[in-house]
Each structure stands twice: as C-alpha cells, then as structure tokens.
Amino acid sequence: MPEPLTTDAVVPADHPYYRAQPVSFVRRSARLTKGQQRAWDTRRDRYLVEAPRDRAATSVDPSWRFDAEATFGRRAPLVVEIGSGHGEAIVAAAADHPERDHLAVEVYTPGLAQTIVRAEQCHEQRGLDNLRLLQVNAAELVESALPGASVDEMWVFFPDPWHKLRHHKRRLVRPAFAEQVARVLRPGGVWRLATDWEEYAHRMVDVLEASDDFVNAHGPGAVAPRFDGRVLTGFERKGRDAGRVVTDLEYVRR
C-alpha cells in the first residue's frame, strides 16, 4: 500500500496523493513504552533532525539538503545507518567512535525513541553529541537530501526481505538504490550490508557486482566476515535460532 500524504500537507491540486513508487516499509504501531515516551517527549529535540516533508509523513522535500557540518557543529567522517531499528549498532558505534558522526535513519517512532533511550544511557548519562536521527524514507534521503560524496560509511542491516515474488519491487537494495548510494558515498567509502534471507543475499550480490560504482572488498562475489560493529540484536538471535544464516557484505565505492 503506498503511503498517503500527511493530513496537514499543503500541496498543489494536481499533486498526486500517493507516492509514485512503493516504499520498502509498511505502517506499524507507534505505541511507545513509558520510558520511550518520556525520552521522545523530553530529549527528541537533542537528536531528531526535522526534515521538511513532500508527499507523505516520512517523505523528504526534494529541495532540502542534510548539512552534516551544521548539524553536528564540526566536520568529521559520517556514518549513516538505514533502518537503524532500536539503535543497537548506531549507538554503540557513536559511543565507541567519538571522532565520527553518526546518522540513524528509521521510520518507526518506537525505534527512534528507543535509540534516544540508549544514547542517553551512554557516557554516564551525558548522552551522545555525535548522534542524530532522521525519520524519513531512506530512498528519498539518498536520492536528494544527502549531498554527493558526503558519507564515509553506509550501513543497511537486515532490510525487509519482502520474500514473496510479487513484493520484490518493495525491496530496498535494487539497482536504482545502489546508484544513489554510490552518489552519496565518497570515493573509497564503504557500504556494509547484512541479511538473514539467503535469496535476498544473492540478489544483493547480483546488484552490487553488476554496478560499475562498487568493488567487492573481499573479491568478486565473496561474502564478508561478520562486521564487528554490527551488534548482535534480539532480531538476529531469533533468526539464528530459526536456522537462518546471516550474510555480511562489504563493498567499496570506486
């Protein structure tokens, strides 16, 4: 189901009500725990970057640009995680690497709120100055909002596999998306991916091996060793318990 416009959006009469392309996510409950709600209400302004909207609640105005230097108050290597979930990996990375800036991209409010909870628990409750959040559709973010060659690492861990054939058009990792990731990654920048869906892993390899913009860091068609920065989550643990094998991939921007 395409994502409709926000109810308060002001658009021309001939502006389409729905996005032209399907999104890689579905609507989910926005119910928060008490702790998440408290963090969202009191600390959201510290971490959340408000992106101007286009058609829908998680859309991005195509004229808007994310300014990392202005946002973080410095110039530093930028790590972007798409689909950051509850923030396990991106918060750990921000805590372990204060010399880098980290941007968590997630559409679900409970995930973003839990990311804030985790961030506020870091560094003896002082929080993390090198972490920001964006509640946007990732495809639109990389298409227009991230400046060219502005990202040092892009992470896509466990994107929805949309395993039914008729839903493959919803998958995030496709040739068009790879082109946009190549646009925003600096030369030598790294794209890290992980999935526990074998068929999707093969498709990711096919997409990236066919791209002129990327080279496999471990040899043509090869998988990568498990990335140390990818924190073991409950989601991954459940998949392993169900017998699914995780595939890590690492590609470098030419």
- Give me the torsion for CA of 147, 28, 158, 20, rounded to 10°: -50
Token pair belonging to 252: 């470098």
Q: Does residue 206 carry a catalytic annotation?
A: no
pLDDT at 17: 45
Of 7-11, 65-69, 235-239, the one with minimum mean pLDDT is 7-11
pLDDT at 165: 85
Alpha helices in the chain (DSSP H): 34-47, 68-72, 88-96, 109-120, 138-140, 175-184, 198-209, 234-241
Is residue 147 very low, low, confident or very high in pLDDT (cuts 50, 70, 90)?
A: very high
Burial of 200 (0-12, 13-18, 19+ CB in 10 A): buried
Residue 2 has pLDDT above 50, yes or no: no
Nearest CA-CA partner of 185 in 228, 157, 155, 162: 155
Alpha-carbon span 69 to 78, nearest angstrom: 10
pLDDT at 234: 85
Per-residue pLDDT tens over the stretch 18-69: 445 665 555 556 799 999 999 999 999 999 999 999 988 899 999 999 999 9
pLDDT at 12: 44
pLDDT higher for 127 or 251? Answer: 251
| Measured distance between the N- and C-terminal CA atoms of the chain, rounded to whole angstroms | 36
What's the mean pLDDT when you consider all of the chain? Answer: 90
Q: Which of 129, 160, 213, 248 is catalytic?
A: 160
Q: What share of the chain is helix, strand, coil (3-state, %, to 5)?
A: 35, 20, 50
The strand pair at 101-105 and 185-195 is best described as unpaired
Per-residue pLDDT tens over the stretch 158-194: 999 988 888 799 899 999 999 999 999 999 999 999 9
Task: Break the chain into its structural domains and give their ranges.
Answer: 34-253
Alpha-carbon span 191 to 126, nearest angstrom: 30
Per-residue pLDDT tens over the stretch 208-235: 999 999 999 999 999 999 999 999 998 8
Alpha-carbon span 9 to 55, nearest angstrom: 7
Alpha-carbon span 82 to 78, nearest angstrom: 13
Per-residue pLDDT tens over the stretch 96-129: 999 999 999 999 999 999 999 999 998 666 789 9
- In CATH terms, the fold of domain 34-253 is Rossmann fold (3.40.50)
CB atoms within 10 A of CB 58: 24
Q: Which segments of the chain are extended strands (E)?
A: 78-82, 101-105, 131-134, 151-157, 185-195, 214-216, 247-253
Q: Do 226 and 248 contact (CB within 8 A), yes or no?
A: yes
